[in-house]
Structures are given as structure tokens and as C-alpha cells.
Amino acid sequence: MDKTFICLLLLGGSLFMGGCERHHNPQKNAEGDSLSVVNQESVLEGVDCNIELGNVVFTKAINGADTLVQIKDDKVLEFRCGEKRDFFCDPNGGILSNRTAPLLLTKVDNAKSFTFISKVSPQFTEKDTYNAGDLFVFVNDTVWQKFAFEQDERGRRRIVTVRTRGTSDDNNHDEITDTSVYLKISSDTRTIASYYSTDKERWQLARLYKNDYPRELWVGICNQCPQGKGSVSLFEDISLEQNSVSDFRLGN
């Protein structure tokens, strides 16, 4: 066989394998672990803003969120939402997909521990199913997690988590009889978990999984009204700290 042809063949194979390695080599998070094949590099949509509550400064607004909030008495954020606004990527062919709910976000360094907490008081009614106030962990519109205090199909108030990697799952947790609840999301860079409490003292774990989000990560708040004519959620006693819970089962 011609030596020139052999060299070209070997060179072509090397380039092909290199291309495959680059294509299939996933992103690494802050700890060097592989990320999902799901696109985590798309540009974050939204507009810049500067909305401060507690020690949190929200710097990014999605779906007009900056025009839908009002700070009252320097401690309560009133978050309005228009009709049929939700954030969900339907796994059943996209029939129910809706990414129009307003979000306020602030950037965190995912290479460092963090804990994000807020008291959430959604506007619950007899008929407006899925009304909710949410905490978010957000990369882009196909990679995120929602942690919600939500009204279910039977009118009950439920803790709900939705994790999205291209499409969303939907996990309904405990029923809450109170009209307000504290929600907390905490990460030690390796693990990320969601907790709720009615008194901010005893925390209940709702969801825990590996933190394989990229280093540039956003957390924030959202108000949703998927079926009604609009709603208002209140957020207060909000904080973002550069530490994590010490016990990921108890949330303390």
C-alpha cells in the first residue's frame, strides 16, 4: 500500500477520533465531574436589572419580571404575574410546555457553597390550579430546577419540585395547610438539596441530587399562574449566604 496513502489515512483517523473526543467530552463542573449532554452553554435570556431585597440583589429579569415587582416596607417583595404564565418543559411532546413565567435571578459561583432562603406566600384561590411562588436554580431555559409552594388539582397547597434537563419532571410532595412556607436551596458544590419549613427552625428534605451544574449559576424567585387570570406572590425574609447546610438530611 502506498505510504503516502497510509499516512493520510492515519492522519484522518486521528482527526476523526479527536473530533469525536471533543464532541462527546462533556463539560466539567467546579469539582471536575461530568455534566449532562443537555446544553448548558446557551446564552441566558433576559434583561439586566437591579432589585434589592434583604442581602440579595437580583441582576437579571426574565419575561418582564423587573416590571412586575414592588418592594413594600423595604422587606416584602410583591411579585405579580399575568394569566397563563408557567415555567415547564413538557416531557410529552411539548404539548404543555410554557416558559413565560417571570423570573428574577442573581448569579452565584457554583464552585462555592451557597444557601438561598425565602418565605413564600402565593395567592391561592379555589379555582386557579397550579398557582405558586417558586425558588429557582437556573442555567438556561432547558436546564433548571423549580422549588414551589403550589396549589394542586384538588385545591390543596403542596410542596412541588420540578427538575428540567431538556424536559421537566414533576414531583408533588407534602401538603401544607399554612398560607406561607419557608423554602431553602443549599449546595456544598457537590450536592444540592431543597427543604421547606413552616417555622424556619425544623426543615424537611424535599429533594436532593448531584450538583452537576456549571460554575456560572443563577438562583432566584418566580411567580406563576398557569391557568388563571393572574396572581400575586409575596417573598420576604430572603437571604443568600456563601455556606451550605451541615446535615443534608436534616437541612440544618
Q: Is residue 246 part of a domain?
A: no
Q: What is the pLDDT of residues 73-112, one digit of tens each?
A: 999 999 999 999 999 999 999 999 999 999 999 999 999 9
How far apart, in whole angstroms, are the C-alpha atoms of residue 139 and residue 137? 7
Q: Domain range holding 141?
A: 3-241
Q: Is residue 59 part of a domain?
A: yes
Q: Is residue 11 part of a domain?
A: yes
Q: Is residue 214 part of a domain?
A: yes
Q: What is the pLDDT of residues 53-83, one digit of tens each?
A: 999 999 999 999 999 999 999 999 999 999 9
Q: Is residue 115 part of a domain?
A: yes
Report, in angstroms and rounded to the nearest whole number, the Rg of the chain calculated over CA atoms.
21
Q: Is residue 250 part of a domain?
A: no
| Number of domains observed in the structure of the chain | 1
Q: What is the pLDDT of residues 146-204, one digit of tens each?
A: 999 999 999 999 999 999 999 999 999 999 999 999 999 999 999 999 999 999 999 99
Q: Quick one: cell of 218?
A: 443563577
Q: Residue 132 maps to which CATH number?
A: 2.60.120.200
Q: Is residue 247 part of a domain?
A: no
Return the half-sphere exposure (C-beta side, CA atoms, 13 A cut-off) of residue 148. 30
- Per-residue confidence at 45, pLDDT binned at 50, 70, 90? confident
Q: Is residue 251 part of a domain?
A: no
How far apart, in whole angstroms, are the C-alpha atoms of residue 37 and residue 21? 13
